Chains A and B, each alone.
Chain A
Amino acid sequence: MKAPAFAYVKPSTLDAVFELLERHGEGAKLLAGGQSLIPSLNMRLSAPELLIDITGLREYAGIHASVDSVRIGALTTHAEIERSAEIGKHLPLVARAVSHIAHPAIRNRGTLGGSLALADPAAEYPACAVALEATIVVSGRNGERRIKAEQFFKGLFETDLKPGEVVTAAEFPVAGRNDKSVFLELSRRRGDYAIIGLAAHNSRFVFFGAGTKPVLAGNAASKTSLQEARAALATDLDPPADLYNSSATKLHLAGVLLERAWNTLSTSH
């Protein structure tokens, strides 16, 4: 289908974005890579009065590594993250996750900030951010807020973002020499939405496609044997069924991923 009519503006400063958001309130939507927003417009699931294209704010794109963290600007595309040697070196979990995000043509436009702000429960970055204990940086009229990923994701497509605020970056702690991470995702075809996925960093097992937001499997992680951990997973997860998979199937598949991750993490690599 075709998108409904809307107005379009491409401001060149963040202050101008804040002003537009203030003036238009809920009738305005931010457009970054547009790889989730434009399909929802084409399918008329969304009908904003105004799209505010923020891709002109190039200072909010880019990857900067410091001694203990990597700051990724919100407008950095998946393809830029995929190609980044710094991400490969310092954030192996994110480097492994990115190739699971849709397809090359979509990775060329979709952005980190867009994915975090949308908070799709089947998306890869939110789970990585929770597993790695990343900080989401948001800006608004009253300045900057820094929010721990675990607190940022609140529910189904729901985040801690307040009206008028914009995600500007995410900061990920650099992986240490002894840290281990595993990224696993099951989907019907390559690039499809995850049936279930797991971003694991040391003992933080975070499942996606498993609830309304990334789910930290704390009970499973507290066990010392794989068998106990798999049994405990039922107390951590109650995955919603999708068109093809029942809740029980998804829970079983979560156990399969847990086993694969557990075995990888418990051997040196």
Chain B
Amino acid sequence: MEHALDITLTVNGTPVSRRVEARQHLVDFLREELGLTGSHVGCEHGVCGACTVRVDGEIVRGCLMLAVQANGCKVDTIEGLSDSKEVGELQRAFHERNSLQCGFCTPGMLMAARDLQLKNPAASREQIRAHLSGNYCRCTGYQAIVDAIEEVLHGKS
């Protein structure tokens, strides 16, 4: 039985092939093998949401998926969404409304917020909070984060 496997996946639009240890989770693979350190490792057991990435169009916990499980998948990280300006409007609103202090949770917050924007652009404040419930922020108290997302969704300023 194999402890290391060859995988091929697409990361932020670029095909990538590597040999990975079965025990390595996706976010460590992205950070350590590919140098994509925008996805953060917080709790490493699925509670904090700092490692949120998109796999085949759906957000997942990067620490709760093995890199080998991403074989054949299309993975998008905050670097990809940032470069393509897909989260540009959200980033601007986060900046303007002081929706971050230390910034550790921000990549995960933006991934979750973008997911909501795609799935439910008319989300209420309560639905924004529900969608972000799996992303912890220990600085802001969330109010400014929800404000920023609400502004982007509803054009409020």
Residue of A nearest to B134 (CB): A103
Return B108 CB to nearest CB of chain A, in Å: 9
The reply to whether B25 and A38 contact each other, CB–CB distance below 8 Å, is: yes
* Contact A6/B25 with A34-B64, A39-B46, A104-B131 known, Cβ cut-off 8 Å: no
**Any B CB within 8 A of the CB of A42:** yes
The reply to whether B59 and A3 contact each other, CB–CB distance below 8 Å, is: no
* Contact A8/B66 with A35-B46, A50-B1, A104-B59 known, Cβ cut-off 8 Å: yes
Residue of A nearest to B57 (CB): A108
**Any A CB within 8 A of the CB of B96:** no
Task: Fill in one digit per residue for A1-28: 1 if any B CB lies within 8 Å of its CB, else 0.
Answer: 1111111111000000000000000000
Return B102 CB to nearest CB of chain A, in Å: 21
The reply to whether A109 and B65 contact each other, CB–CB distance below 8 Å, is: yes
**Any B CB within 8 A of the CB of A57:** no
CA of A191 to CA of B132 in the docked complex: distance in angstroms?
A: 10
Task: Fill in one digit per residue for B12-46: 1 if any A CB lies within 8 Å of its CB, else 0.
Answer: 00000000011101001000000000000000111
Return B3 CB to nearest CB of chain A, in Å: 5
Return B134 CB to nearest CB of chain A, in Å: 3
Taking CB atoms, residues of chain A closer than 8 Å to B112 are 104-105
* Contact A42/B21 with A105-B112, A105-B134, A190-B130 known, Cβ cut-off 8 Å: no
Query: A42 touches which one: B2, B45, B115, B134 (CB < 8 A)?
Result: B45
For chain A, the bracket of interface size reads 35 or more
**Any B CB within 8 A of the CB of A118:** no
The reply to whether B49 and A3 contact each other, CB–CB distance below 8 Å, is: no
CA of A41 to CA of B21 in the docked complex: distance in angstroms?
A: 14
**Any A CB within 8 A of the CB of B99:** no
The reply to whether A191 and B5 contact each other, CB–CB distance below 8 Å, is: no
Residue of A nearest to B111 (CB): A105
Return B115 CB to nearest CB of chain A, in Å: 7
**Any B CB within 8 A of the CB of A53:** yes
CA of A103 to CA of B47 in the docked complex: distance in angstroms?
A: 9
Taking CB atoms, residues of chain A closer than 8 Å to B129 are 190
The reply to whether B63 and A105 contact each other, CB–CB distance below 8 Å, is: no
Taking CB atoms, residues of chain A closer than 8 Å to B64 are 34-35, 38-39, 106, 109
**Any A CB within 8 A of the CB of B69:** yes
Residue of A nearest to B28 (CB): A2
The reply to whether A7 and B2 contact each other, CB–CB distance below 8 Å, is: yes
Taking CB atoms, residues of chain B closer than 8 Å to A106 are 46, 61, 64, 134
**Any B CB within 8 A of the CB of A55:** yes
List 26 A-B pairs, Cβ < 8 Å.
A1-B44, A2-B23, A4-B23, A5-B3, A6-B22, A7-B2, A7-B22, A8-B2, A9-B1, A9-B2, A35-B64, A38-B46, A38-B65, A41-B23, A43-B45, A51-B66, A99-B130, A102-B134, A103-B134, A104-B131, A104-B134, A106-B134, A108-B58, A108-B59, A108-B60, A109-B61
CA of A42 to CA of B28 in the docked complex: distance in angstroms?
A: 12
**Any B CB within 8 A of the CB of A79:** yes
Taking CB atoms, residues of chain B closer than 8 Å to A10 are 68
CA of A200 to CA of B135 in the docked complex: distance in angstroms?
A: 30
Residue of A nearest to B116 (CB): A104
**Any B CB within 8 A of the CB of A189:** yes
Q: Report A168-200 residues with CB < 8 Å from chain B CB.
A: 189-191
**Any A CB within 8 A of the CB of B133:** yes
Sample of 10 more A-B contacts, CB < 8 Å, known A1-B44, A7-B2, A102-B134 = A2-B23, A2-B44, A7-B1, A8-B5, A31-B66, A51-B22, A103-B49, A104-B131, A105-B59, A106-B46
